[in-house]
């Protein structure tokens, strides 16, 4: 098993940060040709997702839609004031699993891996575990 952790610096309260290159670098460094790449985000107000990466307006549209789905003005009880961020993180989830095939992440033509910031700006971490096929 190969392990790695990298940082993600976010610049706004809500954003999707493309982390595909960082994850691909970890996969390459692992030397694994066929296996599984597990990604884990240890933060309760952030998430991970896989979505289109060719058109940046997709990320903008996702954030716009999320702001409509979760009304930030609800009378949330969490004293810290970031309850919408916790709700959004739960929608997406804290982890992703990807196949490694011939030493590369097996992503679709338009797919990228995104770190979803819902309570930024902050410096975050992503943990990576790579296991080889038996």
pLDDT tens, position by position, 98-108? 999 999 999 99
User: Residue 61 gets which letter from DSSP?
Assistant: H
Q: What pLDDT, on a 0 to 100 scale, did the predictor assign at position 60? A: 96
Q: Where are the domains of the chain?
A: 2-132
Look at residue 11 and tell me whether its pLDDT is greater than 90: yes
Give the C-alpha separation, 116 to 42, whole Å: 12
**CATH 2.60.120.460 assigned to 2-132:** yes
Identify the bridge partners of residue 104 per DSSP, sorted by sequence position.
101
Model pTM score? 0.94
Q: Cβ distance 123 to 5 under 8 Å?
A: no
Average pLDDT on 64-73 reads 88
């Amino acid at each position: 098993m190969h392990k790695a952790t990298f940082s993600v610096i976010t610049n706004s309260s809500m954003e999707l940060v493309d982390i595909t290159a960082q994850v691909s670098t970890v996969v390459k460094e692992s030397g694994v040709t066929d296996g599984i790449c597990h990604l884990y985000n240890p933060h309760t107000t952030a998430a991970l997702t896989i979505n289109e990466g060719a058109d940046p307006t997709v990320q903008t549209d996702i954030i716009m839609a999320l702001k409509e789905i979760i009304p930030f003005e609800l009378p949330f009880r969490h004293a810290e004031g970031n309850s919408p961020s916790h709700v959004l993180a739960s929608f997406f989830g804290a982890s992703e699993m990807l196949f490694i095939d011939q030493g590369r992440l097996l992503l679709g033509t338009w797919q990228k891996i995104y770190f979803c910031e819902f309570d930024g700006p902050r410096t975050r971490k992503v943990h990576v575990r790579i296991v080889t096929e038996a």
